[in-house]
Structure 1
């Protein structure tokens, strides 16, 4: 993975969901929204 403008990144940490929610309040639906299963793309197998 390549991160553009990485000079703006000071520190990277793995944290629990609660901590991430507190640290990143700018995500309107919260961090948990990224973890919810989605319906995704549906495929039909042609036979």
Structure 2
């Protein structure tokens, strides 16, 4: 969707969703605790 300039927000507990996104926000008790930028939908090692 980067080519079209569209942003999509997905809230999920399904780890498979991580494979399809570029940016992950991790929340615990309603607070942002981590932001993970990914390349090609994979979490960097």
TM-score strictly above 0.5: no
Q: Which has the higher strand share?
A: 2
Tell me the TM-score normalised to structure 1 length. Answer: 0.20
Larger relative contact order, structure 1 or 2 (CA cutoff 8 Å, min sep 6): 2
User: Which one has a bigger Cα radius of gyration?
Assistant: 1
Q: Which has the higher helix share?
A: 1
